[in-house]
Amino acid sequence: MKVNMHEAKSNLSALAEKAWEGETVVIAKAGKPYVDLLPHKEGRFQRKPGRFKGQIRIADDFDRTPQDVIDAFEGKN
């Protein structure tokens, strides 16, 4: 749902209820998306970098892409 700033001011309670129920509410200014109205959620936590250190394995050949796959993406088949 996209509403303009004036409509959002006039119908904030109804729009907040829609956002709380899971609907996407975008408030526009001069016809362009300006802000998203989101419900407050308790229990969000601060991310801690490195908390999975040593638990994730990446194959040695992860960044080697076979030539036939590259050719397919580039339309050279």
Percent of the chain with pLDDT over 90: 82
Quick one: pLDDT band at residue 1, thresholds 50, 70, 90?
very high
Residue 38 predicted with pLDDT over 90:
yes
pLDDT, tens digit (0-9, with 9 covering 90-100), for 52-73: 999 999 999 999 999 999 999 9
| All structural domains of the chain with their residue ranges | 2-37
CA pair distance 66, 75, nearest whole angstrom: 15
Q: In 3D, which of 32, 37, 45 has the Cα closest to residue 17?
A: 37
Question: Quick one: pLDDT at residue 60?
Answer: 92
